[in-house]
Chain A
């Protein structure tokens, strides 16, 4: 499948933290969820794709071109939401629209205000008077109003209440239904990503642990809970494990597990938790 964006062998050293050979793609028409604990490098990867952080090594490609050499028109086809804040707080939405119309040649004012109304955002209030959720929605409305084919969203639902999160996810779901759009969404609220994503990239300490189709994950991994004796009988199918008061729990490769082993379905959160905090054999 053709990728709308891809990173290959991305490395960036910050001294106390580094991205190490990060490689994955964002297939056209798909949503890729970027997961990992705080400080895993999710934001840095998104910033590298957007050209805000210069990688030490590796390639970032958007629409088949080196991301550093995108034309202005091509850059407009990438919509970004970078955390909570990015819109000028002293401006009203009407003024924000005026600014964006001077930045984006394909600015859709009507579409922007339609989204603002759908999000119940007041047009005449300054952005600084908005709640956190309203700011996120305003940033998302901007990202969806300049003809973007690729969305890069860094923690778009972070800090929002469940209702606001659900509204944002609905909007993203509608946006993606068109089929020709792609999105990379970083989040540590994994239930959000489970609703939306086709693929999952798991970053841990700057490295990609896996880049897989979401549905394949539940086929690939399973959870085991049992006694230490039962655990030792599992053999090499164990990806990571944790010892508890009542025995051992483990993330296992389903296909490699011995026949008859008691296995449960592993969610994305389980997979992330075991890879992040579990011990390896």
Chain B
């Protein structure tokens, strides 16, 4: 009798009570470490952003900037001084109270000459940071920076404590609703509830690199959620399975066929336009992404209010593409290499693009590369003709104005418009300038703009509050809970 009672109790523990406030997520990549202020890997933010670490501001699910550790702020008339009022009563997970000294420490550390912050540019306009009183921090800018509040919402700008910052790579200590508990390298990271904001008692991120194994783990009940299912081919099957809910949302990932604008023959705008006409975006989205993805005609997220739909500028038209090549003196076509990094959008999309370019006489040699090679050969040394990559940083159209950037695009009107953006804090004017840049780069056919990556999440029915879209690569679990 006693044995039976024990077994029943154990079963209840295993299935009922405990399962309803615990969550297990499957993610593809394991981060190298867990400090978002010392690495660019999206895998870091996927675990700690908004869960463990918080910034003065943050992004919500729509990508809008919201207050987080700062409850309010005032901006001086010249736009150069921001005064932030900190949320009272906030504590780091090691018990230390959050004060404006931590804000000063975090930003000064990110800006320092020996800083290893991956997005140091976010802080470039800052001249000094002062702790006015324990609850008030003042940031003074050397030049106006219309995007400061946006910049401070990035995971790279979270507030850390001087007492724990050095250990954040393996023992991250922040102010978020979840506290870091354990990292079993190669296997999982466990977070537990730090305060009442978290509805879940615990969350586990399991690292499952193989796309098919991710789906199997979900079907077997080993995990509850795949925030970004790596196997789009399985979504059809999962969406008709009543146990699961499939959510297709948006990301900030503009996927492009990047062109080395400095290399012949791509320095000729007619050649770049010919490539744009030769590529059938729909075939790529259907063939490489199983239909998940939104076509884009410029380097901007379609869900953003400042987006201009330019997909009609270069409709799929191989005849026109051939005519443009002829005009450029390349009637015989030419040869080019296409370097493809590991993600499936690139490897699968690259095969389709190579076939499409063949139609207009461009014979493409496909060169698969791993990320390390891509970063050093393509990104650092600009040693490429064509490549496919998804630019996942939010609002990154400013890369078209950079002095030295891997695709070597150069346009004075674009640079002038981007400089004007830096000086403009007003939203309506900013949107106008963005639209102007969007048009300019599309007319120049700086790259072939393919599609916006979709976020394809799958989770067990009854789970509420998961992000459907991801303006940053994050899994904010604060509002996530199980329906009884």
Do A and B interact?
no
Q: Enumerate chain A interface residues (CB-CB to B < 8 A).
A: none
